[in-house]
């Protein structure tokens, strides 16, 4: 009887352990920030055409995207006011830039802790046939609440063939413990032209 009880308890503990491990699995889900999936805030500025839109994210979070003078910021918060006050809402890359409309959410279970988004940074030193700057792609890893929302890592998408995997690992390894305003944004993998442009001051 004791032996059967012990075996039963062992099986139960294994099942609990497996359930606990499954609950801690880190994975990705995706949302869109395309204009049709978001709500425009107010009207475009008559002065410079600047726009702001709010998009639904994961776990009740809101994605705020503001565009001004051909540059964008992307921030996250429980509401528009909170998102607009986060450190991420105050980071403008110097060159013209834009973000793609797909956001990858890294989460433990259903609780997201970071996003990954592809950005395109204009390179004035590399004009196309019409004289417009070609763009260079990079991935931006941003940490999420609890705590401030800010950029954690940059991964050059051209210089690193496995940029997506590098960005996910950076999100998983660094985002939750990253101290906004204290820790420097990490350059992951090979530092390419996109990262060079994005970090110009």
pLDDT, block means (10 residues), the chain with 201 residues? 49 44 80 95 74 97 96 98 98 97 97 99 96 98 98 99 99 98 98 97 80
Distances in Å between the Cα of 34 and the Cα atoms of 54, 66, 79, 123 are 10, 13, 19, 24
> Would you give the DSSP letter of residue 181?
T
pLDDT score, position 189: 98
Length of the chain: 201
Kind and range of the H or E run holding 34: none
pLDDT at 46: 63
Has this prediction a pTM greater than 0.75? yes
**Comparing C-alpha atoms, which of 100, 81, 129 is closest to residue 32?**
100
The greatest distance separating any two alpha carbons of the chain, rounded to the nearest whole angstrom, comes to 84
Give the pLDDT score at 11. 42
pLDDT of residue 180: 98
What is the reported pLDDT for 23? Answer: 52
pLDDT of residue 20: 44
* 26-32/71-77 β-pairing: unpaired
The conformation of residue 24, written as its DSSP 8-state character, comes to T
């Amino acid at each position: 009887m004791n032996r059967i009880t012990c075996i039963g308890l062992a099986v139960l503990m294994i099942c609990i352990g497996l359930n606990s491990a499954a609950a801690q699995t880190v994975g990705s889900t995706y949302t869109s920030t395309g204009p049709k999936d978001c709500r425009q805030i107010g009207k475009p500025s008559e002065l410079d055409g600047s726009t702001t839109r709010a998009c639904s994210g994961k776990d009740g979070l809101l994605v705020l995207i503001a565009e001004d003078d051909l540059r964008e910021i992307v921030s996250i918060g429980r509401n528009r006011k909170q998102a607009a006050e986060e450190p991420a809402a105050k980071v403008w890359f110097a060159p013209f830039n834009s973000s793609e409309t797909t956001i990858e959410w890294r989460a433990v279970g259903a609780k997201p802790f970071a996003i990954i988004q592809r950005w395109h940074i204009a390179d004035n030193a590399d004009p196309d046939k019409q004289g417009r700057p070609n763009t260079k792609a990079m991935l931006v890893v941003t940490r999420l609440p609890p705590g401030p929302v800010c950029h954690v890592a940059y991964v050059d998408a051209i210089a690193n063939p496995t940029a997506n995997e590098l960005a996910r690992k950076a999100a998983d390894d660094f985002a939750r413990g990253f101290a906004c305003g204290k820790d420097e944004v990490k350059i992951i993998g090979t530092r390419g032209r996109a990262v060079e442009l994005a970090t110009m001051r």
